[in-house]
Structure 1
């Protein structure tokens, strides 16, 4: 290989690596650096930001809200997506292309827009709640009631991302050899038996991947919450990502916000490592 070709080869591989380094690793390192300061890098405080986190009740509440939100959404998206995919996979299912199009439509809507759209739908004077008002029935305050707000925001996320799990599961189902399904049908196996004995063993790795991926995404959920409740009422829908936003851009404490972001980063990395280890143990 000539020197010119060798140089071009090195540049071909080095430039993407440099771009990845610049767009991901360096901002992370800079965020960790900021976490040792308070405010707008006014005072160096060492590890004080991290030591204060367990005593920050808002941070503790944000972690609880994040885990509740993630549990509700990930479980729902996985189950509903799998049910929809398996239902549409059945040979007797009709208008498959129409249903597929309808199922994936929410993916075309930006999360912030979805949040605003559901905010209008949840409004007592519009949408389904508006019909209740016309009937003289007091509608639930979906986004204003502290007991309903987190559930209502979770519905938005479920509506947005269940189409993704549906597509992944449907693709996985189509990869199962048709001969196996047909043999089970000829042998008189019920739909439940076919699912538990044939479909699930083929999809269990895919299910684990979906759970890992959606958990990572939903821990960082922000847009739909910002578009619907902005973390309210009070702090009942303030996830960790939402809390970082409030600290950084409302309190202007970039140092403390960076320390929370660093902890969030560590939580996600720990979750990935744990998930991979569990996957190996299952094998």
Structure 2
């Protein structure tokens, strides 16, 4: 990213007439940092998936369990959280620093409103940074001075793509993007990914629901949202060794306890996993 881009006040780039992924996600979590246009898009999505808000909460629970495991059990103390969205409850830095107060976290998001809120983190937490950047440009991200100045990229770190890559089109080559990140990671690093899932022949009925959701997202003007097949999602791990239980529905990744209800159909349509670079 050029120096000029950093000099533009984030508020100057805010456009309340256009929905953004970060603000729609905030609306789905019941947050307050979004506009009417974002709520309208979320309501359109709910016409097909009335429990999509539960999917967002499920995604957050996965993040919490993963970060807790990697901090407490794997001993990781560096996190690069890409496409992190708006600061909300149980952020990566809050979970990691609960176990290790000196764990270092860098959030990256392209949405300027995220940058505005992220600045508050800079003031209150010396081990946390927020960088405005485009996760589809690995070389720019990994060479960003605020990132290289806060994280030691020669030591193992956790690269997080939680609910991000399904907003990257095939033309943008999400597999190639991840390959560039993974190649740059030192041994001992971990990669965590969650992604919208099209079950295809594994469950034709749910596959129809996935295709219906994808069409509704485009109709709503969100601009992105791709439900991909299992093999396509696995490929984004770049051949790294997946930790048990592998690439699974999110609440099946080391759940906190027994289910209190059966999953809603849309909750089945997302997979997640964590892999290690040996």
Which one has a larger percent helix, Structure 1 or Structure 2? 1
From the CA coordinates, give the structure whose radius of gyration is larger.
Answer: 1
Q: Which category of TM-score, normalised to the shorter sequence, fits these structures?
A: under 0.3
TM-score by length of 2: 0.23
**Greater length-normalized contact order (CA 8 Å, ≥ 6 residues apart):** 1
Which one has a larger percent strand, Structure 1 or Structure 2? 2
